């Protein structure tokens, strides 16, 4: 899963997708996740970063991570060529 | 190092150029408690889902309705519509406030009697009254509202047999500008059927005609329609006096007043569009007072409004079971209260509210817990992020849900009353397997 080339992410949580013309607001944790995905971190690496930083358990993070991934994929912010690729 | 507080990651699409037609977004309404009792405490003690009825709200709303009519018309009598909510504790509150009972079946009649209502203060409506029901009504001196000619002749037959007079009224359907006209109930005014029925009753020695009744529909938003209905009843009232030199005792305008719930497909919220009790009272009282009925012979005005009196007093507390993202990207969630408990969710966009401040509102579909595709509580509601286990409140569910609910897949939950002193009481116990074992029989097991 990677952020598509047409997507630009500002530091204050504004996301613009020039492919679709849509723009979005992400909250601070959403912004952090998006940036980590953009930097190429995989799920385990992002999980470790979040568990270290936030008062959070691994199952809650996993649930929220995959829900967020489904949402950004739906908005064509990420592309996932292989439907079995969940990394 | 102390860790930061975690907030669920969220994203919302910016829809520029599509401002809300109602102006700036309003602050999310939160219902954290009912009559001063926290929702969390109620669920902890009585489980989830949980129906909660507020005695204070019942009495406040009833007082508002009574004041609206009493200040405009000299003789007003409310009759509590049992089918709207016939929990004994609820009926008792209305009877304490002075309401008679309005029933539509033998079961409801028996319930009213068991609640201590004097038989002469029961209005017996509806198309289904068995021979036994009618005998019970006659023996108890109830006001029987005749629905059709077959019932009229059955009554004549029964009263001859048991040699007792029946006190009757007839139900009249009429054109008050509300369509479709509910012509399946009662005798028609415009084509003369009602006048024929009246003449037949006046000739029957064993029947005493004491009133006229109409019920023009349900969730009626146009109060003027009640004025038209009242005028037509007043015409019949005077026609009876002219022909038979006889004054009836009452005119019954039925119910059908709207509650503040929002109908599906409505442009504006029901709380903004629903006429007030004052609006209905003004229309009905004006029509009767300005009719040709002499003031000294004005009949008692009966009202059988149910929905508008009880809807606000009922809440359903529920818990979030799951959050899901649907294929199209739409957010959805599953709660532990389904359409089997909320019959009115088929008609209304029910108000669903969180119990605490939450962020990141997004258009959401709310599903009930049933393994049935039709179990949708709200198709689309802008709702904040909630977690599994979070508690929500569905408001204005006091009317028709606790009578039309259905035992399906799961047990029906506790119903709790918060009394005027802020104390809670179970007024209907949650079902259990034993509930079913009592009434089911398996011939193979003996």
Q: What is the ipTM of this complex?
A: 0.94
Comparing CB atoms, the residue among A15, A29, A75 nearest residue B8 is A29
- Whether B358 and B278 share a structural domain: no
* Helix (H/G/I), strand (E/B), else coil: B325: strand
Cβ–Cβ < 8 Å for B147, B175: no
Interface test with A, best of B2, B6, B360 (most A CBs within 10 A): B6
pLDDT of residue B178: 86
Of B6, B16, B325, the CB nearest to A71: B325
Looking at beta carbons, which residues of chain B come within 8 Å of A38? none
Q: What's the confidence (pLDDT) of residue B21?
A: 60
Cα angle A46, A47, A49; round to 5: 65
A24, A33, A75: residue with CB nearest B9: A33
Judged against a pLDDT cut of 70, whether residue A83 lies above it is answered with no
Task: Tell me if chain A has a CB within 8 Å of the CB of B389.
Answer: no
Distance CA B376, CA B379 (A): 6
B409: part of which helix (H) or strand (E)? Answer: none
Assign residue A56 the CATH number of its domain. 1.10.10
Q: Report which secondary-structure segment, H or E, holds B278.
A: helix B277-289
Task: Answer yes or no: do A26 and B329 touch at CB < 8 A.
Answer: no
Chain B residue numbers touching A70 (CB-CB < 8 A): 325, 329
In sequence order, what are the residues at sequence separation of 6 or more whose Cβ sits closer than 8 angstroms to the Cβ of residue B149? B187, B197
Please say if the pLDDT value at position A85 is more than 70. Answer: no
Is B359–A27 a contact, with Cβ atoms under 8 angstroms apart? yes
Per-residue confidence (pLDDT) for residue B23, from 0 to 100: 56
Exposure class string for B35-48: b at 16+ Cβ within 10 A, else e = bebebeebbeebbb
Distance CA B268, CA B412 (A): 33
Provide the number of CB pairs (under 8 Å) joining chain A to chain B. 67
pLDDT tens-digit map of B400-420? 999 999 999 999 999 999 999
Question: How far B363 CA lies from chain A's nearest CA (Å)?
Answer: 13
The tally of domains found in chain B comes to: 2
Structural contact between residues B171 and B211, judged by C-beta atoms closer than 8 angstroms: no
Stretch B299-317: mean pLDDT, rounded?
A: 97
Residues on chain B touching A33 (C-beta within 8 angstroms): 9
pLDDT tens per residue, range B422-445 = 999 999 999 999 999 999 999 998
| Residue at a domain's end among B311, B336, B359 | B311
Q: Between B149 and B14, where is the model more confident?
A: B149
> Within this chain, do residues B327 and B238 fall inside the same structural domain, yes or no?
no
Q: Is the pLDDT of residue B283 over 60?
A: yes
Residue among B9, B323, B329 whose CB faces A74 most closely = B329
Does the pLDDT value for residue B295 go beyond 90? yes
Same domain, B279 and B351: no
Domain assignment present for A84: no
Q: Do A70 and B325 touch (CB under 8 A)?
A: yes
pLDDT at B46 over 90: yes
B358 or B300: which leads in pLDDT: B300
Q: Which of B294, B311, B328 is the last residue before a domain boundary? A: B311
- Check whether residue B228 and residue B317 sit in a common domain: no
Q: Which residues pair with B70 in a beta bridge?
A: none
CA B426 to chain centre: 21
Does residue A85 sit within a domain?
no
Residue B222, domain member (yes or no): yes
DSSP letter at A61 equals H
Q: What is the pLDDT of residues A1-47, one digit of tens each?
A: 788 889 999 999 999 999 889 999 999 999 999 999 989 898 999 99
**Span B239-256, pLDDT tens digits:** 999 999 999 999 999 999
B4 belongs to a structural domain? no
User: Please, which residues have CB within 8 angstroms of residue B7's CB and are 6 or more apart in sequence?
Assistant: A27, A28, A29, B359
* Count of C-beta atoms within a 10 Å radius of residue B296: 6
**CB distance B9–A32 less than 8 Å?**
yes
Assess if residue B23 is contained within a domain: no
The residue of chain B nearest to residue A56, with distances taken between CA atoms, is B6
Same domain, B40 and B66: no
Position B417 in a domain: yes
CATH number, domain with residue B223: 3.20.20.10
Clarify whether residues B128 and B259 are in a common domain. yes
- Predicted confidence band of residue B104 (pLDDT cuts 50, 70, 90): very high
B190 occurs within a structural domain = yes
Interatomic CA distance for residues B101 and B95, integer angstroms = 8
Mean pLDDT of chain B: 94
Question: Measured between alpha carbons, how far is B62 from B310 in angstroms, rounded to an integer?
Answer: 9
Q: Inform me whether the pLDDT recorded for A81 exceeds 90.
A: no
- Look up the domain containing B380 and give its range: 33-52+312-431
Per residue in B161-193, pLDDT tens?
A: 999 999 999 999 999 988 888 889 999 999 999
3-state percent helix, strand, coil for chain A, nearest multiple of 5 = 45, 20, 35
Distance from CA of A8 to the nearest CA of B (A): 14
Q: What is the mean pLDDT of residues B92-121?
A: 98
User: How much is the pLDDT for B190?
Assistant: 93
Closest CA to B81 of B70, B72, B96, B94: B94
Mark whether B306 and B316 lie in a shared domain.
no
B12 to A25: CB separation less than 8 angstroms, yes or no: yes
Residue A57 in contact with partner chain B when CB distance is under 8 A? no
The CA distance from B200 to B206, in Å, is 11
User: Scanning every residue of chain A, which has its alpha carbon at the shortest distance from the alpha carbon of B322?
Assistant: A63
**Cα of A68 vs its chain's centroid, Å:** 6
Question: What is the pLDDT confidence band of residue B26, given thresholds at 50, 70 and 90?
Answer: low
C-alpha pair distances (Å), B218 with each of B179, B307, B352: 11, 9, 23
> Is residue A43 less than 8 Å (CB to CB) from chain B?
no
Q: State how many domains chain A has.
A: 1
**Same structural domain for residues B403 and B262?**
no
| Range of weakest confidence among A59-68, B111-120, B331-340 | A59-68
> What average pLDDT does the segment B288-306 reach?
97
Q: B415, B87 in Cβ contact below 8 A?
A: yes
Structure tokens at A27: 């909250």
Task: Tell me if chain A has a CB within 8 Å of the CB of B265.
Answer: no
Residue of A nearest to B325 (CA): A67
Is B191 contained in some domain? yes
Q: Name the pLDDT band for B341 (thresholds 50, 70, 90).
A: very high
- Whether A71 has its CB under 8 Å from any CB of chain B: the answer is yes
Looking at the fold, whether B156 and B96 belong to one and the same domain comes out as yes
Q: Which residues of B410-445 are buried (b: 16+ CB within 10 A; e: fewer)?
A: eebbbbbbbbeeeebeebbeeeeeeeeeeeeeeeee
Residues B334 and B283 reside in one and the same domain: no
pLDDT: which is higher, B181 or B235: B235
Q: Which pLDDT score, from 0 to 100, does residue B17 have?
A: 60
B196-231: per-residue pLDDT in tens?
999 999 999 999 999 999 999 988 999 999 999 999
**Do B320 and B253 sit in the same domain of this protein?**
no
Shortest distance, CA A50 to any CA of chain B (angstroms): 9
Question: Look-up: residue for tokens 């009554």?
Answer: B155
The residue in chain B having the minimum alpha-carbon distance to the alpha carbon of residue A53 is B3
B381-384, Cβ contacts within 8 angstroms, sequence gap of 24 or more: B381/B349, B381/B352, B383/B331, B383/B333, B383/B352, B383/B354, B384/B28, B384/B354, B384/B358, B384/B359, B384/B360
Residues 330-359 of B with CB under 8 A from A: 359
Give mean pLDDT, residues B130-155: 97
For B44, the token pair is 């902890």
Q: A24–B13: do the CB atoms touch at under 8 Å?
A: yes
The C-alpha R_g of chain A, in whole angstroms, comes to 13
Report the pLDDT averaged over residues B286-312. 97
- What are the chain B neighbours of A23 within 8 Å (beta carbons)? 13-14, 16
Residue B441 domain-assigned (yes or no): no
Cα–Cα distances (Å) from B187 to B51, B165, B191, B194, B195, in that order, read 39, 22, 9, 5, 9
Residue carrying the six token digits 């039925």: B254
Give pLDDT, residue A80.
Answer: 72
pLDDT of residue B251: 98
Please indicate whether, in this complex, the C-beta atoms of A27 and B11 are within 8 angstroms of each other.
yes
The CB-side HSE value for B344 (13 A sphere, CA atoms) comes to: 28
Same domain, B382 and B250: no
Q: Which domain holds residue A66?
A: 2-79
Domain boundary among B258, B293, B311: B311
- The DSSP annotation for B340-390 comes to TT-GGGGTB---EEESS-----EEEEEE-SSSSTT-EEEEEEEE----TT-
Q: Determine the Cα–Cα distance for residues B170 and B177; give it in Å rounded to an integer.
A: 21
Sign of CA dihedral B136, B139, B140, B143: positive
Distance between CA B288 and CA B294 in Å, rounded? 10
Inside any domain, residue A67:
yes
B78, β-bridge pairs:
B303
pLDDT at B24 over 60: no
Cα(B169)–Cα(B155) distance, integer angstroms = 12
Q: Is residue A70 part of a domain?
A: yes
């Amino acid at each position: 899963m990677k952020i598509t080339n047409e997507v630009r992410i500002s530091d204050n949580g504004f996301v613009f997708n020039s492919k679709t013309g849509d723009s979005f607001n992400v909250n601070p944790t959403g912004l952090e996740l998006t940036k980590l995905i953009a930097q190429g971190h995989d799920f385990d690496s992002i999980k470790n970063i979040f568990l270290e930083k936030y008062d959070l358990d691994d199952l809650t993070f996993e649930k929220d991570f995959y829900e967020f991934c489904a949402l950004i994929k739906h908005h064509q912010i990420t592309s996932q060529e292989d439907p079995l690729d969940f990394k | 190092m102390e860790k930061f507080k975690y907030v669920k990651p969220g994203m919302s699409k910016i829809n520029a150029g599509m401002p809300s037609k109602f102006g700036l977004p309003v602050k999310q309404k939160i219902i954290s408690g009912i009559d001063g009792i926290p929702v969390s405490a109620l669920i902890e003690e009585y489980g989830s889902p949980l129906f909660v009825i507020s005695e204070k709200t019942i009495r406040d709303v009833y007082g508002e309705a009574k004041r609206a009519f009493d200040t405009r018309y000299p003789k007003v009598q409310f009759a509590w519509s049992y089918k709207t909510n016939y929990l004994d504790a609820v009926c008792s509150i209305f009877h304490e406030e002075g309401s008679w009972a309005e029933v539509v079946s033998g079961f409801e009649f028996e319930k009213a009697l068991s609640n201590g209502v004097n038989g002469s203060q029961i209005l017996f409506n509806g198309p289904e009254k068995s021979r036994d029901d009618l005998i019970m009504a006659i023996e108890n001196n109830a006001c029987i509202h005749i629905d059709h000619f077959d019932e009229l002749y059955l009554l004549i037959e029964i009263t001859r047999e048991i040699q007792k007079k029946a006190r009757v009224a007839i139900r009249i359907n009429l054109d008050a500008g509300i369509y479709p006209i509910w012509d399946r109930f009662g005798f028609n005014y415009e084509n003369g059927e009602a006048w024929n029925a009246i003449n037949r009753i006046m000739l029957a020695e064993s029947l005493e005609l004491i009133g006229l009744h109409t019920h023009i529909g349900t969730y009626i938003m146009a109060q003027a329609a009640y004025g038209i209905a009242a005028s037509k009843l007043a015409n019949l009232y005077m026609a009876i006096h002219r022909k038979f030199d006889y004054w009836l005792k009452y005119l019954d305008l039925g119910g059908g007043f709207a509650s503040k719930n929002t109908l599906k497909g409505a442009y504006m919220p029901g709380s903004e569009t629903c006429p007030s009790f004052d609006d209905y009272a003004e229309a009905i009282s004006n029509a009767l007072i300005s009719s040709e009925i002499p003031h000294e012979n004005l009949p008692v005005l009966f009202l059988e409004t149910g929905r508008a009196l009880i809807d606000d007093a009922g809440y359903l507390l529920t818990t979030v079971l799951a959050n899901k993202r649907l294929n199209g990207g739409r957010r959805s969630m599953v709660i532990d209260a389904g359409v089997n408990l909320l019959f009115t969710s088929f008609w209304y966009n029910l108000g669903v509210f969180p119990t605490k401040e939450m962020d990141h509102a997004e258009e959401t579909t709310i599903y009930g817990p049933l393994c049935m595709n039709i179990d949708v509580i709200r198709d689309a509601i802008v709702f904040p992020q909630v977690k599994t286990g979070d508690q929500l409140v569905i408001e204005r569910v006091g009317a028709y849900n606790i009578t039309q609910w259905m035992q399906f897949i799961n047990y029906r939950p506790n119903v709790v009353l918060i009394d005027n002193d802020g104390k809670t009481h179970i007024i209907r116990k949650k079902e259990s397997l034993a509930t079913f074992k009592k009434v089911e029989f398996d011939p193979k097991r003996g």
